[in-house]
Amino acid sequence: MADAKEKTCALVASVASVNLNAVAATTLYTVPAGKTFVPHFVVVRALSADAALAVATFGQSGDKDDFLGAQTLSGLSAAGKAGILQPVPNATTVAVVEYTAGEVFVIDVTTAADGACTATVDVYGTLADA
């Protein structure tokens, strides 16, 4: 039976307790063998505190901003808020990377939140056969 995450936009990973107050990369998803992965968007939710000063990038572990460059989380100013982060569609096609088997998709916190803060990060995208 086919995986429900294939050939549709679906939740492919959910990582709890991502530390937004530590300048570091956290693995969110590893592309399975024989598959490709195209990310669509990321949801940052279940904040433990204010994350408004945090800045993060998203992408492959070797090029941590090839999906999304610096994202200031200024709208996430209190626990209970959530944010959807994605490339902004416009009249010109927005190119994103198609990740291959074994590649690791990460969040890289480049500026800390300036206080203890964790969040759950959900990754949505499409899996396909390589």
Second CATH level (architecture) for the domain 10-129: Sandwich (2.60)
Please tell me the pTM assigned to this model. Answer: 0.93
d(Cα 57, Cα 111) in Å, to the nearest integer? 10
CA-nearest of 107, 112, 115 to 78 is 115
Q: 115-125 pLDDT, tens per residue?
A: 999 999 999 99
Provide the residue ranges of all domains of the chain, joining segments of one domain with +.
10-129
Per-residue model confidence (pLDDT) at position 32? 96
Contacts of 130 (CB under 8 A, 6+ apart): 34, 35, 36, 100, 101
d(Cα 71, Cα 75) in Å, to the nearest integer? 11
Whether 69 has a pLDDT exceeding 60, the answer reads: yes
